[in-house]
Chain A
């Protein structure tokens, strides 16, 4: 029944149209709006996000023949532009209360969350010592848009403006259920990765990648990837647990 609603309301949702082997069954079984995610859905979502990241690199390298070190702002721009539709479209499928909330609305609030999250990320980075200046402006904007896609946009698409959910994910860091894992772990991974990525910056190695925001971006991406793998593992583990309980 939910599949039907999904199909009716969001013809673009990439996850509701495909012939999912496990997805439909799991969805049918679960009543709670929190646990509408199966392991395969989580896997596919994370895989596409990861592939989008790789595609960003591929496009910038092969089409424009630039890379993160030589043209950080342009490369970051390509990455977030390619990443953005995938993240928004995928995570909007998992929106809370899909009965009440239209797919397009989730997409819209995801898109709205992009600049807001970028602002938050940029402010955080500046507070932590990111350089201020006209020559860094483009890089900072593109970097924070990318970070926003890693951290804030999934949460806005999924939870909207529900304070309790935000509080649970970002203030308490107490993810509860598969969906929470999928939002929480990659976001925290990206933040922690970016934090660690900043450490080589003051060293005197005189490498071009020590520039803002190259190594921070690398750190964030690594953290994001680790977060996605972790989230998938947890979703898998949880699925098994529930399966056992159900049996």
Chain B
């Protein structure tokens, strides 16, 4: 049998926690790769070689769009091939529908559905590409990839939770900068991504998935008008119909051919109209038909299968392009290639974060030197990005005037193979290019040299692009596996500690007390249920809507638990009356009837808390108490808030008064909490109602004063109390008698200051609780004051219930139930698993200058109000629970007592959290190709991680307070004994 000593336990716990932190960070870094992102937009500098820092920092923003356009044209050396671009996005159209698969043309039915497009392909007027899209194959990230050429990571989306606008450099922004006019018809996602960029727009919502007709008619209705106008340079059409048809009936839906026919008609109409205008006014128009992603056989998308990532790029309108049908349908590209191709074709700088490579066929009409120039520009842009990723990339050390004499030195300088490889590829291409340039005058052997140069450039571009996009999408399997395994190990460590503790410490002690093997507690239904809740939670995590509506689960299981408690108490009601079972403490009998008001209070306040915020995602429109109050007027809200605040403060002060101790410190503590309570009330009355005042000096000062007083009072209480509390030796007159029966045998009291320890912990616990309540009253939204009061009541009721539950040894179950209470309260305060519900406004109360760290801390305090509240109140639980009977006087040593007091209350939250964390990590890994992985599962994972941090902090506070108090009291007692 493993014997626990205090140090061993602490060491093992800390080790488990550290292992968990390591595993978590391994997983997070593996799963959410950080994208090599450059801020800002490409300017004129992109037309210079990246290795020279000699570009004069010209302020391009002051330039007129027309001037900028000319500057770009002059610098790039490539005349724009086209004046106008029509970008037709067909949502969810797999390239297979038009281009077939593996070089085979598509099925006859599909060929017949799009006769015009197929004729374009056959006649060589159009060229199609299987453009590979990166997962997640969902519309918005794919649109971003198309226009910016970058593959986004999750974290930059997550940390960008207030705006959906695309902040990265992209071609639309570049077009806008040189004064191009843009028109958008179709999916309103574009309007969210690029607010204010479009001259005219008509957005349609993709919300009504059942609608397959109207959604496209709304796009086409303006098409004739727009095609007749000539004031735009970029027309974006986004048709959602194909995607909707897919969602309803899958790939082989009966609606699909007619929908494709409709798309074909649109292409035909655009093509004929542009042909007309091209002849009339010499405006060259490029039509690009693209799809954002494909679809599976069932019409779903979001994952990374071939069917989903097989998106289409169809370029119509390239001149003198003579190719046969077979070569027009076999090309492959990447979706990100659209951005550099369009940028170079239209004479704007390539977006900074682009990882794509230009599509070579689009430039066939250009002269040789212009084609090489385009390749060079693309290479320079990628090289810039590579330099950001690989700071040791040696190419940048070269002086920019000469290339030829450094051929050999590269290999000496580079250590890493990938850097060396990319470097030498680039050098090779650049050298060939410069030699081609020098020979160009002589016209001797340009044909061969030219093709070598192009090949060299492509080699560099392809490998650089591949490497860069791998960096952003690849999930390093080894890292993920290591992370999961490490988390699993830590979970096992913590769980084995808990079970070891229960087996070695609690069961034997309990056996000793209850004296009879018969009444040795079996796991009752309630206990089984509480432990089964973990299983329920893990299962429910696999469903995206259960993750969205997690608050229902917590409330449901928690109130079921309370109902089971009612039943259990009803059981004991008659066993006491009818059975003459052996009872160690006769005085306990009366206590058994105390449960009823507590459980009923728990049920009622739990139900009110549930009704306070509707929460979640799908049912937010249902009525709840908070919206009802807010609609009834701000006066009512304020009244409710004030009443709750006063009740919270008076409850806290009453509890402190109940302790009844006199002495300067106690008075000080009470007084300072009273003062800060009054200040919080003042803040509520004076500043909280209007938003303008909340940022002024007075409010900030008041808030800071409250922070200071509260902080000092709490810290002072916790630190000083063990030193000043009067030590009672061998008298049993505990002033806690009202709250919990003192079951401390004299033998223990002689050895250890148990009564004082519990008194002190009780006082410290209350100090923490009042501190936290007042802080929340100050920081939370006004509407959340009542939930704080109800939470306080719930926590107190549970703790009183548990302490009145007599000799129940099941601390494991009770602490777990308290933990659930904290999580249910978390959602009752209006939180959810989307990042949108984080209260950002409260995070600036009392902060005079902008500080990300401080407001981050405040945001954490607001968001994790309830779990932290429960963790802090564990001190109260420890002090009121009659656990000291567990100590067997003869065997007791100091560590044993401490383990029994603090062991489970500290370990159970950590253990539960580690189970949930590990399980959810596995769920996230399994769901990595799910449609909602970025919108539902990943935000939830961030919350799970933050809950883990919250648990670490809370448990750390509880454990250190407990240990500190105990150590101080022991030292004092020893001294006192020594003096005697």
**A positions within 8 Å CB-CB of B:** 124, 126-129, 131-133, 163-164, 167, 170-172, 195, 198, 201-205
For B570, list chain A residues within 8 Å (CB). Answer: 167, 170-171
Partner of B622, one of A124, A126, A131: A131
Q: Shortest Cβ distance from A133 into chain B, in angstroms?
A: 7
Does A202 lie within 8 Å of B545, measured CB to CB?
Answer: yes
The contact string, 1 if C-beta is below 8 Å from chain A, for chain B 558-575, is 011011000100110110
CA–CA, A126 and B555, complex, Å: 12
Nearest residue, chain A, Cβ from B549: A202
Q: Shortest Cβ distance from A124 into chain B, in angstroms?
A: 6
B144 adjacent to chain A (CB < 8 Å): no
B478 adjacent to chain A (CB < 8 Å): no
Does A133 lie within 8 Å of B623, measured CB to CB?
Answer: yes
The contact string, 1 if C-beta is below 8 Å from chain A, for chain B 578-619, is 100000000000000000000000011011001100001111
CA–CA, A126 and B610, complex, Å: 11
Q: Shortest Cβ distance from B793 into chain A, in angstroms?
A: 16
Partner of B556, one of A128, A204, A205: A128
Q: Shortest Cβ distance from B612 into chain A, in angstroms?
A: 12
Beyond A127-B562, A128-B563, A204-B548, whether A163 also contacts B623 by CB under 8 A is no
Nearest residue, chain B, Cβ from A167: B574
B552 adjacent to chain A (CB < 8 Å): yes
Interface positions of B from 783 to 830, Cβ below 8 Å from A: none
Does B546 lie within 8 Å of A203, measured CB to CB?
Answer: yes
CA–CA, A238 and B607, complex, Å: 43
For A201, list chain B residues within 8 Å (CB). Answer: 552
B327 adjacent to chain A (CB < 8 Å): no
**B positions within 8 Å CB-CB of A:** 543, 545-546, 548-549, 552-553, 555-556, 559-560, 562-563, 567, 570-571, 573-574, 578, 603-604, 606-607, 610-611, 616-619, 622-623
Does A202 lie within 8 Å of B552, measured CB to CB?
Answer: yes
Partner of A127, one of B573, B578, B603: B603
For B618, list chain A residues within 8 Å (CB). Answer: 202, 204
Nearest residue, chain B, Cβ from A172: B571
Does A132 lie within 8 Å of B611, measured CB to CB?
Answer: yes
Nearest residue, chain A, Cβ from B548: A204
Does A203 lie within 8 Å of B562, measured CB to CB?
Answer: no
Chain B CB within 10 Å, residue with most, of A163, A204, A205: A204
Does A129 lie within 8 Å of B549, measured CB to CB?
Answer: no
For B556, list chain A residues within 8 Å (CB). Answer: 128-129, 198
Q: Shortest Cβ distance from B581 into chain A, in angstroms?
A: 15
The 6 residue pairs across chains A and B that have the minimum distance between CB atoms: A202-B549, A204-B545, A202-B552, A171-B570, A204-B618, A171-B571
Can you spell out 26 A-B residue pairs with CB atoms less than 8 angstroms apart?
A127-B562, A127-B563, A127-B604, A127-B607, A128-B555, A128-B556, A128-B560, A129-B552, A129-B556, A129-B607, A133-B623, A164-B578, A167-B574, A170-B567, A170-B570, A171-B570, A171-B574, A201-B552, A202-B549, A202-B616, A203-B543, A203-B545, A203-B549, A204-B545, A204-B549, A205-B545
CA–CA, A172 and B574, complex, Å: 10
For B560, list chain A residues within 8 Å (CB). Answer: 128, 195
CA–CA, A129 and B608, complex, Å: 10
Nearest residue, chain B, Cβ from A201: B552
CA–CA, A243 and B589, complex, Å: 44
For A127, list chain B residues within 8 Å (CB). Answer: 559, 562-563, 603-604, 606-607
Does A124 lie within 8 Å of B555, measured CB to CB?
Answer: no
For B545, list chain A residues within 8 Å (CB). Answer: 202-205
CA–CA, A129 and B828, complex, Å: 13
For B559, list chain A residues within 8 Å (CB). Answer: 127-129
CA–CA, A172 and B604, complex, Å: 25
For B546, list chain A residues within 8 Å (CB). Answer: 202-203
CA–CA, A172 and B553, complex, Å: 26
CA–CA, A164 and B606, complex, Å: 31
CA–CA, A101 and B429, complex, Å: 105
Q: Shortest Cβ distance from B533 into chain A, in angstroms?
A: 13
Nearest residue, chain B, Cβ from A205: B545
Q: Shortest Cβ distance from A220 into chain B, in angstroms?
A: 15
Does A124 lie within 8 Å of B610, measured CB to CB?
Answer: no
CA–CA, A131 and B578, complex, Å: 40
Q: A126-B607, A128-B556 are in contact. List 17 more A-B contacts (CB 8 A).
A: A124-B563, A127-B559, A127-B604, A127-B607, A128-B559, A129-B555, A129-B556, A133-B623, A164-B578, A167-B571, A167-B573, A170-B570, A198-B556, A202-B549, A203-B549, A204-B545, A204-B549
CA–CA, A175 and B559, complex, Å: 26
For A202, list chain B residues within 8 Å (CB). Answer: 545-546, 549, 552-553, 616, 618-619
Nearest residue, chain A, Cβ from B616: A202
CA–CA, A209 and B559, complex, Å: 23
Does A163 lie within 8 Å of B574, measured CB to CB?
Answer: yes
Beyond A127-B562, A127-B607, whether A171 also contacts B567 by CB under 8 A is yes
CA–CA, A244 and B559, complex, Å: 45
Q: Shortest Cβ distance from A43 into chain B, in angstroms?
A: 30
For B619, list chain A residues within 8 Å (CB). Answer: 202
CA–CA, A204 and B603, complex, Å: 27
Nearest residue, chain A, Cβ from B557: A128
For A170, list chain B residues within 8 Å (CB). Answer: 567, 570
For B571, list chain A residues within 8 Å (CB). Answer: 167, 171-172
CA–CA, A124 and B563, complex, Å: 8
For A129, list chain B residues within 8 Å (CB). Answer: 552, 555-556, 559, 607, 610
Q: Shortest Cβ distance from B619 into chain A, in angstroms?
A: 7
Q: Shortest Cβ distance from B559 into chain A, in angstroms?
A: 5
Q: Shortest Cβ distance from A202 into chain B, in angstroms?
A: 4
For B607, list chain A residues within 8 Å (CB). Answer: 126-127, 129
Q: Shortest Cβ distance from B823 into chain A, in angstroms?
A: 15
CA–CA, A195 and B536, complex, Å: 13
CA–CA, A210 and B606, complex, Å: 23
Q: Shortest Cβ distance from B627 into chain A, in angstroms?
A: 13
Nearest residue, chain B, Cβ from A124: B563
Q: Shortest Cβ distance from A132 into chain B, in angstroms?
A: 7
CA–CA, A124 and B556, complex, Å: 11
Q: Shortest Cβ distance from A152 into chain B, in angstroms?
A: 14
CA–CA, A195 and B611, complex, Å: 19
CA–CA, A129 and B200, complex, Å: 48
For A133, list chain B residues within 8 Å (CB). Answer: 623
Nearest residue, chain B, Cβ from A166: B570
For A126, list chain B residues within 8 Å (CB). Answer: 607
Nearest residue, chain B, Cβ from A206: B618
For B555, list chain A residues within 8 Å (CB). Answer: 128-129
For A163, list chain B residues within 8 Å (CB). Answer: 574
Q: Shortest Cβ distance from A228 into chain B, in angstroms?
A: 22
Does B563 lie within 8 Å of A164, measured CB to CB?
Answer: no
For B610, list chain A residues within 8 Å (CB). Answer: 129
Q: Shortest Cβ distance from A171 into chain B, in angstroms?
A: 4
CA–CA, A171 and B604, complex, Å: 21
CA–CA, A84 and B545, complex, Å: 38
CA–CA, A198 and B556, complex, Å: 9
Q: Shortest Cβ distance from B870 into chain A, in angstroms?
A: 21
CA–CA, A85 and B656, complex, Å: 59
CA–CA, A203 and B610, complex, Å: 17
For A205, list chain B residues within 8 Å (CB). Answer: 545
Q: Shortest Cβ distance from A165 into chain B, in angstroms?
A: 11
Q: Shortest Cβ distance from A223 into chain B, in angstroms?
A: 15
CA–CA, A25 and B546, complex, Å: 55
CA–CA, A171 and B559, complex, Å: 17
Nearest residue, chain B, Cβ from A203: B545
Nearest residue, chain B, Cβ from A173: B525
Q: Shortest Cβ distance from A91 into chain B, in angstroms?
A: 22
CA–CA, A163 and B577, complex, Å: 12
Nearest residue, chain B, Cβ from A164: B574
CA–CA, A139 and B661, complex, Å: 55
For A171, list chain B residues within 8 Å (CB). Answer: 567, 570-571, 573-574
For A195, list chain B residues within 8 Å (CB). Answer: 560
CA–CA, A172 and B572, complex, Å: 9
CA–CA, A126 and B543, complex, Å: 25
CA–CA, A171 and B526, complex, Å: 12
Q: Shortest Cβ distance from B610 into chain A, in angstroms?
A: 6
